Amino acid sequence: MSEYLPGLEGVPATKSNISHIDGERGVLAYRGYPIESLAEHSTFEETSLLLLDGRLPTARELAEFDEQLRGNRRVKYNIREMMKSLPPTGHPMEMLQTAVASLGMFYPGPEGLTGRDIREDLDYVHSMTVKILARMATLVAMWEHIRNGYDPVPPRTDLTYAENFLYMLSGKEPEAFYADIMDTCLVLHAEHTINASTFAALVAGSTLAAPNGVIAAAIGTLSGPLHGGANQRVVEMLEDIGSPDNARPWVEKQLAAKAKIWGMGHREYKVKDPRAVILEKLVEKLAAYKGGQVSPLFETALAVEEICRERLAHKGVYPNVDFYSGVLYAEMGIPADQFTSIFAISRCAGWLAHWREQLADNRIFRPTQVYTGEGIRDYVPLRDRG
């Protein structure tokens, strides 16, 4: 009998050279480059190409990739009209999954990746990667206006990826400071080994499903509160706590009830998530930029972290990436239910890199199970059942 490990914890599902985690030391690296270096020096466009191609691009390669992304930001009006028919109360992640899945209908390509020639067609893979990645931010920003009864703001090709997203989201060209923060956040969230949503992308990709369907599967997985949806829950939690003074009794109550403290703990890390370290500094940087005013959310978050360090550090429970990302987005004026959508925009780069890697040496995922049901039984006709 095969050994059963809940959640496949610790079970290798694939071989990959895209990213690496050392949970004991708090290390995260994309293609060998530490996340701290990329957050400080790289851009989302460059980081995406690094993840896809496995190396830092030349200036010419990056310029070409950037130009391709800028040239594919627009979507057909049919998609806009479809989005207008969706309930405005729907969650942005539900919209995003629907819209991304629909891209294959409005931009038809091969019905399925059935031939080895298509699997090895890097031009096709690159083209689909650019189109999906370019349109993710467009769809998220469009929805913010459509659900409020307005026409979306058209994308611009003279802005960077982060600048254009913030411009489309608010209708105003963003200050460079805010665009830089958003760009860093996109870098931080772009990839994180074989997490749940990436595994969903691998499984879908292994069937040779169309890439829009692969990314839609990943989006649906990311939406769960135990994955990407946690950043929204963190802000709701901090708002519920209310102030730093309430943090200790709230945390003590949660621990006594063995209830979850959102944004705390990660299966991979036994120290503070390196992305959380960077995000905390970004919140501090934003506070200084706004005149030194620290928001109640951030003060409460700091208090919760300190109390959790006292009570949970011996268990290796520290803040993860969700703990401060939600606070940062809230300080930037972004609606809480859009937090996970921004996560999806960024993580799409990693999903597409893994999709490409899976196609290079593909075998359909077909795990086994530990059967716990009844043995073979005789069928009893309906008339003979008591």
Enzyme catalytic residues:
266, 322
CA 381 to CA 203: how far, in whole Å? 40
CA 330 to CA 267: how far, in whole Å? 26
Cα 212 versus chain centre, distance: 16
Rg (alpha carbons) of the chain, rounded to whole number: 22
| 5 exposure class (CB count in 10 Å sphere: 0-12, 13-18, 19+) | exposed
CA 320 to CA 155: how far, in whole Å? 33
CA 73 to CA 136: how far, in whole Å? 8
CA 194 to CA 361: how far, in whole Å? 17
3 state DSSP class of 34: strand
CA 346 to CA 342: how far, in whole Å? 7
Q: Are 350 and 52 in contact (CB under 8 A)?
A: no
Residue 315 CB contacts under 8 Å (≥ 6 apart), including other chains: none
List, edge to edge, every strand of the sheet that includes 19-22: 19-22, 27-30, 33-34
